[in-house]
Amino acid sequence: MRDIPAELTFKQRLNACASLIEERLSQWLALSENGAGVPSRLAEAMRHATLGGGKRLRPFLVLESARLCGLADDNAVNAAAALECVHCYSLVHDDLPAMDNDDMRRGRPTVHRAFDEATAILAGDSLLTLAFEIMADPATHPDARIRAELCLGLARAAGRAGMAGGQMLDLEAPGRTLREGDILRLQAMKTGALIGFGCEAGAILGSASHERRQALRRYGAALGQAFQLADDLLDVEGDAAALGKATAKDAEAGKATLVALIGVENARARLRQLEEDARAALAPFGKDAHILAEAASFVTTRSH
């Protein structure tokens, strides 16, 4: 595998990363070799959940933060693919009838619609488990300390005090009065934790200095908040066709968002500030970080 040339623009780099990730996920989820011994229905459901699109923002953050810390893409792509497995598992379970009850995802039937609920539960479980299998695999990094640290960081970001905990808070939100602090906490857990880990993973993989690791954490925290706020704004204003899913679902579901609380104009101003915060956090990397800086703009201005 050749590295993606560094002189690409952000959009080119994002697309190139997406291709790399698609290819690597496809290898891990191959119906032979890596997938030997896996029941075919389960293997197909895992492929349905994982392959065929998505921006691949989280693995992009791993590859790009790793590049800033001196790693070639080839040495970060497994960790990036593992993180995407966690993201995809969370979508499969969040879409279930007992959760958000969504029929469509990225313009295709959700896993429990294309297969059935039991298969979707098991496909999600298996993707989550596969993420740790990949992280702990010697092919992901030759140094076991780094593999163990990646497993620990991923587990904390994905688990009860991270993404899964945030989803629990989200399910409890309808009918409750959430204050700004409550919403920020919910979003930091549900969306921020995994995005933040994606940025930090590059520093872990590259054994970066404390200063650089903290810088990537701060960048990730601002980016995560911006991502969620932009998503909430899209939910209010967006176009269903561009998103490939239903819009204004948050309001229908009675879910409290920051936009509903502080208004669209204030939310836009907050978003601009978060973009600035994200860019400012990248100072220790100088011009090398221009792609992550552009990623902050992309996240705040995306229309889908």
Interaction site with a copy of itself (CB under 8 A): 35-39, 41-43, 46, 89, 93, 96, 98-99, 116-119, 121-122, 124-126, 128-130, 132-133, 135-137, 144-145, 147-149, 151-152, 154-156, 158-161, 164-165, 167-169, 171-172, 189
Shortest distance, position 47 Cβ to a copy of itself, whole Å:
11
List of residues 6+ apart from 287 with CB closer than 8 A: none
With CA atoms as reference, report the closest residue to 111 among 98, 96, 99, 100: 96
CA distances, 178 to each of 137, 173, 191, 225, 284 (Å)? 42, 7, 17, 17, 36
Minimum CB distance to a copy of itself smaller for 197 or for 298? 197
Distance in Å, CB of 159 to a copy of itself, minimum: 4
Q: How far is the CB of 131 from a copy of itself (least distance, A)?
A: 8
125 versus 276: smaller Cβ distance to a copy of itself: 125
SS3 196: helix
Q: What is the DSSP code string of 25-68?
A: HHHHT-SSGGGTTS-HHHHHHHHHHHSS----HHHHHHHHHHHH
Q: Between residues 24 and 147, which has the closer beta carbon with respect to a copy of itself?
A: 147
**For residue 83, which amino acid is it?**
L
For a copy of itself, the closer CB: 72 or 136: 136
* Closer residue to a copy of itself (CB): 89 or 285: 89
Residue type, 70: G
* Tokens of residue 38, six digits: 């896996």
Quote the least distance from Cβ 122 to a copy of itself, whole Å.
5
**What's the min distance (Å) between Cβ of 189 and a copy of itself?**
8
Min separation Cβ 98 and a copy of itself, Å: 4
Shortest distance (Å) from residue 89 CB to a copy of itself: 8
Question: DSSP string spanning 100-126?
Answer: T--SEETTEE-HHHHS-HHHHHHHHHH
Residue 161 or 269 having the CB closest to a copy of itself = 161
Q: Name the maximum alpha-carbon separation found in the chain.
A: 54
Give yes or no for a contact between 55 and 2, defined as CB atoms under 8 angstroms apart.
Answer: no
Looking at the Cβ atoms of 85 and 278, the one nearer to a copy of itself is 85
Q: Which residues contact 97 (CB under 8 A, 6 or more apart)?
A: 112, 117
